[in-house]
Every structure is written in structure tokens, then in C-alpha cells.
Amino acid sequence: MAGATCYFRHIFIFSSGLISLLNDSRFFHARTQRGCFLESHFMFTVYNAEFVVRTKGNGTYEVTEKVAELVRASQVRTGLVNVFLRHTSASLLIFENADPSARRDLEKFFERLVPEGAAYFSHTMEGPDDMPSHIRMALTRTSESIPIAAGQLQLGTWQGLFLYEHRAADAERSMVVSVIGTTK
């Protein structure tokens, strides 16, 4: 039956309770040339966690394994993990994780691009690295999303997830991890 309408049966489980959408065309609608009834059952979950990274001043701190551990704890097999850093003077990067000299080169580049103590900065309440740290954060990111397949982060061979600390002083950086996906 060319152009027949098929409806999908989905069951979603959220931490707040069960939502069942059965054969409801308001939510799911598909067309197929074969006119078949398609049915799929999967468990959809949302998992949230938070952790703290203690930094020892400027530099990069790899958090890949901690995020992978939280993905495993979520039991999500296929989905997406979003990592969000709750700060304005540090950032997140997906970057080279095999050779530390690549990260040192990045740090030197940012030191030249946004130098500390520049006379044109007026926001210096917390010291000469105050405004440069905010600008460096604005030029990078405070969140990253990584696909999950077979329960594993789908990073490339030489990719890692790093907290990039832009301040000279030690700090405690809070990160929120949200894992969304199916568990089977």
C-alpha cells in the first residue's frame, strides 16, 4: 500500500515517571511504501550528575574518564552526553589527548592572544588574569556534547575532554553531566 500511514508505539521512562504514547499520531507519524505497522519499544532515560574538578592554576585537566564513568552509570547505550561547566573563567575543550605538548602550545597561544595585565582591561577586580580568563572562556566553550554508542563515548582516537582553567589560582570547578538516550 504505497503512501500508507504507519504509527509507532513508543514507551518512554523518565526519572519522574512513565509516559506511554501508544499509536498516537499527534506524537509520531511516518509514511512507508509497504503499508506495514511499525512497532518499537525502547527505554528512554535522562540521567544527571555533577562533579567537581580541583585545579592547580592555569592549564588543561582531562575529565574524559570521569564523564565515561557517569555514562556507564547512566546505563544509556545509545544517546548523547552533554557536559556543562558552571564558570565564566574556565572552559571545556575536546582536544588532542595523546601528546601533552599540543595542550601546552594551545595555552601559549591563548597567553599571546589574550595577555594578562593589558592596560586596556578595566575589569581587574580579582587580579590581572581576571578579564583575560573571561575572554578566553568566551572564545572557547562551557559545554560539549558527545554521542554515545554501545554505551561508549564516541570520541576519536586522539580526542579527550578537558577542563581548561584560565585562572592562575587554584579553583574548584563544578561540572554538570546530562546523559540522554536509550538503555537497550
Q: Give yes or no: residues 92 and 164 share one domain.
A: yes
Reply yes or no on whether the pLDDT at 152 is more than 80: yes
- Neighbour-count burial of 120, counting CB atoms closer than 10 A to its CB (0-12 exposed, 13-18 middle, 19+ buried): exposed
Phi then psi for residue 109, to 5 deg, are: -60, -50
Quick: pLDDT tens for 82-136: 999 999 999 999 999 999 999 999 999 999 999 998 999 999 999 999 999 999 9
- Give residue 151's pLDDT: 97
pLDDT band at residue 40 using 50, 70 and 90 as cut-offs: low
Q: Give yes or no: residues 127 and 138 share one domain.
A: yes
- How does strand 152-153 pair with strand 44-56? unpaired
CA–CA–CA angle 94, 52, 178 (5° rounding): 60
pLDDT band at residue 180 using 50, 70 and 90 as cut-offs: very high
Residue 62 neighbours by CB distance under 10 Å: 16
Based on the structure, what is the number of domains in the chain? Answer: 2
Q: Give yes or no: residues 123 and 172 share one domain.
A: yes
Q: Give yes or no: residues 62 and 27 share one domain.
A: no
Reply yes or no on whether the pLDDT at 79 is more than 60: yes
Closest CA to 146 of 52, 60, 71, 46: 71
Quote the DSSP letter at residue 84.
E
Which is more confidently placed, 117 or 151?
Answer: 151
- How does strand 17-21 pair with strand 59-62? unpaired
- Give residue 184's pLDDT: 78
Q: Give yes or no: residues 95 and 173 share one domain.
A: yes
How many whole angstroms separate alpha carbon 173 and alpha carbon 163? 9
Number of residues that this document lists for the chain: 184
Q: Domain range spanning residue 109?
A: 44-182
How many whole angstroms separate alpha carbon 59 and alpha carbon 25? 52
Percent of the chain beyond pLDDT 90? Answer: 74
Q: Which residue has the cell 574538578?
A: 53
30 SS3 class: strand
Q: What CATH number has the domain bearing residue 68?
A: 2.60.120.460
DSSP state string for 118-166: -TT----TT-TTHHHHHHHHHHS-SEEEEEEETTEE---TTEEEEEEE-
Q: Give yes or no: residues 103 and 60 share one domain.
A: yes
Instruction: Kindly report the average pLDDT of the chain as a whole number.
Output: 83
Reply yes or no on whether the pLDDT at 35 is more than 50: no
